[in-house]
Amino acid sequence: MGRFAICVVLVGCGGPAAEAIKEQPSTPLAKFPAADALAKVRSAPLKADGSTTTALDRWELDVSPPLHDAQATADDEKRTRVLAPRARVNANLACAAHELARMVASNKGTPPAHVRHWIVARCGGTQVDMQMASMRWQHVEKITDDEILAKSAGKLGTGNPPPEVQAGAAVARDGENAAVVLVLASPAADIHAWTPPKASDTAVTIAGRLRVNAEQLVAAVNQGEFGFAYCKADPGMTLPEFSFECPLASGDKSTWVELLGRQRDAVLAHDIASALVVREGETVPYEVPHEDAVPAADPEAFTRALFERINAVRSRAQLGALALAPEQTVTSSRVVATLINASLEGDVATTNTLSLALLAGWDVKGTIRFGDFFTGYQPGAPDAAAWMRQALQSPAGRVVLLEPDRSLVALGSAFTEKKDGAGAVVSTFSLFDGYDHGTDGGRVIQKLNELRAAKGFAPCPTTPIPEIRFALEGITANEPPMRGAKKAMNAAAERFPGKRIRIWAVETTSLDHVPFPDELLRATALPVAAAATHHKAEGGAWGQFVVFVMAIETPAMDVAGRPVTAY
């Protein structure tokens, strides 16, 4: 997110035009609830997630999973139409319904969310917003599958899903018992089918079209035991269409890819799609690694154990340890149960408000440059190792926990009343404190020229304009960005008589997403200089970058030899 302003001065055309520019004070780019938004939230017991599965250490599909977006079979259509007549039948969800029905029929119960998610993904699905409904029938060995489906219709509590909802249904048997499962999903994006990568392939392309509004879309992929990488977006694609090239680690038989989207002016990113990419010919079961549990008697002990676990994993990944933000951890510990309960109940408004209020980091000491946020629910006896393992399955979890640039962490944990489940929230932060802006200008110009290359334009050459320092000094003196920008322009005008001089002041939360003005993304390659600093706008929770880009050019002349002012 960001915004920009522009000044132009043309020497020899009535004096510096910059003097007419209105100096607008900065306002926070990252919008958060007020600092007192969490004051009335009190500690609460964590609610169970509704899963009833006994310990599940391994699960393997007993059918060949269909490719993503494969055509549903006639049997898939027939079964699903009984339970969801209007919904769009989806082959991947039908495969997932079959596997989940096997679990229910064998009395393994309803699996927790992370297992359901794995099964949908292993069946080729990419949906993240899904619902499972099931019924278990006993002593039905003499009743046909069609009769069981008919008896289950109208009793699953799902109503009659509309056509935009995807669905898959199945019946599975275990001896004299049977189970019916219906899986429903409302995808946030239509993902195109991809070809399973070969053993030698170094990347996979995930492409599609958004169904929801988003101004920014990012994708990340797991690499190895602890690594992750961001996927490269195709710069020629414009949302809602998208395409990402995701690098694959050579030793990975399978890996997770996640797409996250942000709406305009939003801080929180939301899940768009998740894919389990399996190399050609590989069989990938669900397996829980055998490792020592890290049990905890109470939430405080769980928080301490999780903090130690995070830094132990970062050490194994050769990353620096995170320091604990103690005051923010106290706040997180008080709010975590209410937040996760709201998420489990589908209370989007409360979930977003509390998430944003925690991510704001009002109790963090220092100026926040960026932050990330992750919540997770671990079913069963509270175990920090199990919680961490589930978090690391997700590329988004790895971004939050294992981003090299992060230096601070705040945690909060809560248990269910029966201590048969643990929830935790983790916020990690990067600070401006000690940050060196020395290379920011080069990074900004590199990003600008990447965007120009995507349009087929020549790069903007770099030119030294030492006067840009006056713009940076203005920010240090707590002046509005355009005041220092005007000083820089006027000083440059004295040194470059007869030249057209421009300066753009850009405020952004990320140097990777600078909102460059259209003038810099046109065919003409202007000689430019860039520099950046940061400040904290009044009332803001985070700091933000202030980027200055200056350009100098020789103006066109009219027949009388006068500079042409129109541009």
Whether 562 maps to a domain, the answer reads no
Q: Which of 187, 204, 233 is the last residue of a domain?
A: 187
H/E stretch holding 148 reads: helix 145-152
**pLDDT for position 107:** 76
- Using CA atoms, how far apart are residues 332 and 174, in angstroms rounded to an integer? 45
- Residue 464 has a pLDDT of 93
Is residue 561 in a domain? no
560 in a structural domain: no
**Same structural domain, 177 and 113:** yes
Counted domains in the chain: 4
Residue 560 pLDDT exceeds 60: no
Structural domain contains residue 492: yes
The full DSSP string for 526-547 is --EEEEEEEE--TT-SB-EEEE
Residue 244 and residue 207 in one domain: yes
Q: What does the alpha-carbon distance between residue 244 and residue 204 come to, in Å, rounded to a whole number?
A: 8
Asked whether residue 217 is assigned to any structural domain, the reply reads yes
Q: Is the dihedral of CA 208, 209, 213, 217 positive or negative?
A: positive
Handedness of CA 50, 53, 55, 59 (dihedral sign): negative
Assess whether pLDDT exceeds 70 at residue 559.
no
Q: Give per-residue burial for 448-471: e unless 16+ CB within 10 Å, then b.
A: bbeebeeeebeebeeeebebbebb
pLDDT tens string 464-487: 999 999 999 999 999 999 999 999
CB 178 within 8 A of CB 98: no
Are residues 202 and 242 located together in one domain of the fold?
Answer: yes
**SS3 call for 198:** coil
Nearest in space to 546 (alpha carbons), one of 515, 567, 520, 523 = 515
Is 341 in the same domain as 371?
A: yes
State the pLDDT at residue 3: 57
CA gap 210, 64 in Å, rounded: 28
**In angstroms, how far is CA 267 from the centroid of its own chain?**
10
Give yes or no: residues 419 and 380 share one domain: yes
387 and 463, same domain (yes or no): no
Is the domain of 309 the same as that of 248? no
> Would you say residue 540 has pLDDT above 50?
yes
Is residue 566 in some structural domain?
no
Residue 326 has pLDDT above 60, yes or no: yes
Share of the chain above pLDDT 70, in %: 93
Phi, psi of 274 (to 5 degrees): -145, 130
Interatomic CA distance for residues 228 and 400, integer angstroms: 11
What is the chain's mean pLDDT, rounded? 90
Residue 83 domain boundaries: 58-187
How far is 179 from 161, CA to CA, in rounded Å? 21
Is the confidence at residue 342, as pLDDT, over 90?
A: yes
Looking at the structure, tell me whether residues 511 and 458 fall in a common domain. Answer: yes
CATH code of the domain covering residue 240: 2.60.40.10
At 402, which CATH number? 3.40.33.10
Residues 242 and 305 in one domain: no
Q: Looking at the structure, do residues 384 and 273 belong to the same domain, yes or no?
A: no
Task: Indicate whether 450 and 479 sit together in one domain.
Answer: yes
Quick: pLDDT tens for 38-62: 988 888 889 988 777 666 788 999 8
Q: In this structure, are 18 and 136 located in the same domain?
A: no
Residue 359 has pLDDT above 90, yes or no: yes
- Which residue among 144, 172, 187 closes a domain? 187
Whether pTM > 0.85 for this model: the answer is yes
Instruction: Quote the tokens at residue 215.
Output: 């101004």
Phi, psi of 157 (to 5 degrees): 75, 20
Residue 176 pLDDT: 94
Contact yes or no for 382/302 (Cβ under 8 A): yes
Q: Residue 545 above 80 pLDDT?
A: yes
Q: Is residue 46 part of a domain?
A: no
- In this prediction, what percent of the chain has a pLDDT beyond 90? 74
State the Cα–Cα distance between residues 56 and 113, nearest whole angstrom: 13
Vertex 113, ends 109 and 116: CA angle to 5°? 70
Residue 53 within a domain: no
